[in-house]
Amino acid sequence: MKIVIFGLTISSSWGNGHATLWRGLCKALIQSGHHIVFYERNVAYYAEMRDLNELPGGRLELYEDCQSVRRRASIDLSDADVAIITSYCPDSLVFTDIVLAQDRALRVFYDLDTPVTLARL
């Protein structure tokens, strides 16, 4: 199964709980034979503390702005089985449009910060 994830970070565990969760989940999925592509905006504060430069057995896509990877993301989604957008994904609105334009992948929102989300409803 091919899973494309648009998230906050997997490359830097500094200052957030997202990276450690995604690393464990992706490692288990890859070991089970799944192909993972993780899109992460390359921001300075995570780049300075980056402790993962590649996703072993998968692919880490670091991008400067979401428009620069729009085409690549569409190509990845064209044969994806699952598309996941996470809470705090900095470009979630743009990637949501790209995901919704595809009709192949199961569309998933994964909220890693449920109390924060519920407090804002």
Q: Which domains does the chain have, with CATH numbers?
A: 2-119 (3.40.50)
- For residue 3, what are the β-bridge partners? 36, 82
Q: Tell me the pTM.
A: 0.94
DSSP line for 60-95: EEEESSGGGGHHHHHHHHHT-SEEEEETT-TTHHHH
Q: What mean pLDDT, rounded, does the chain reach?
A: 94
**pLDDT value of residue 14:** 86
| CA distances from residue 58 to 34, 39, 103 in whole angstroms, order as listed | 9, 11, 23
For the stretch 45-103, pLDDT in tens is 888 889 999 999 999 999 999 999 999 999 999 999 999 999 999 999 999 999 999 99
